[in-house]
């Protein structure tokens, strides 16, 4: 079981399952959404996430039709993204966890979009798009 929250604490959650296939995403959307060189994301089962939103601050931005990026409207912390085509899976930002997690990133993705000043961890596989195991 993992716990997490946004920066201001109005959104808190418990994740009762694990994080599957976490990756470093270097695509331009993740870079802009995180304000950094990359975002570290992993898949979770939507049914494993118990979210508490004390100030009704969870909102979303629909970057592409059916693909929503959820964040705190008070502090701006990105929490997870969802795809209406696959509602049982969410992609959570690993930076929102307050407890240590066991899972580790498996690859760098969208490396052709990486920030020109970013040096990649050469010990992990690097892909021009999604990792090959994703269908």
Residue 73 has a pLDDT of 97
pLDDT digits (tens, 9 = 90+) for 28-45: 888 888 889 999 999 999
Own/partner contacts of 8-12, CB < 8 Å, gap of 24 or more, are 8/57, 8/72, 8/74, 8/75, 8/77, 10/53, 10/54, 10/55, 10/57, 10/72, 10/74, 10/75, 11/51, 11/52, 11/53, 11/54, 11/57, 11/58, 11/72, 11/77, 11/79, 12/51, 12/52, 12/54
Q: Does a structural domain hold residue 133?
A: no
pTM for the model stands at 0.87
Which range marks the domain in which residue 108 is found? Answer: 2-127
pLDDT digits (tens, 9 = 90+) for 5-20: 999 999 999 999 999 9
Identify the helix (H) or strand (E) that includes residue 25. Answer: strand 20-25
Q: Does a structural domain hold residue 122?
A: yes
pLDDT digits (tens, 9 = 90+) for 54-76: 899 999 999 789 999 999 999 99
Per DSSP, the three-state class of 12 is strand
Q: Does a structural domain hold residue 44?
A: yes
Q: What CATH number is given to the structural domain containing 107? A: 2.170.150.70
Q: Does a structural domain hold residue 51?
A: yes
Residue 129 has a pLDDT of 80
Task: DSSP for 100-122, please give it.
Answer: --S-----EE-GGGS-TTPPP-T
Q: Does a structural domain hold residue 135?
A: no
pLDDT digits (tens, 9 = 90+) for 82-126: 999 999 999 999 999 999 999 999 998 898 988 888 888 677 877
Whether pLDDT at 135 is above 70: no
- Give the total number of structural domains in the chain: 1
Q: Does a structural domain hold residue 132?
A: no
């Amino acid at each position: 079981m993992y716990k997490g929250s946004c920066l201001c604490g109005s959104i808190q959650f418990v994740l009762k399952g694990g994080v599957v296939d976490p990756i470093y995403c270097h695509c331009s959307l993740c870079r802009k959404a995180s304000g950094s060189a990359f975002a570290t994301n992993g898949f979770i089962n939507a049914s494993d996430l118990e979210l508490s939103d004390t100030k009704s601050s969870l909102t979303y931005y629909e970057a592409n039709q059916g693909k929503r990026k959820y964040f705190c409207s008070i502090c701006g912390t990105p929490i997870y993204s969802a795809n209406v085509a696959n509602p049982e899976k969410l992609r959570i930002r690993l930076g929102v966890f307050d407890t240590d997690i066991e899972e580790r990133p498996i690859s760098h993705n969208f490396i052709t979009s990486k920030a020109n000043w970013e040096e990649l961890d050469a010990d992990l596989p690097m892909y021009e798009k999604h990792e090959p195991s994703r269908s």
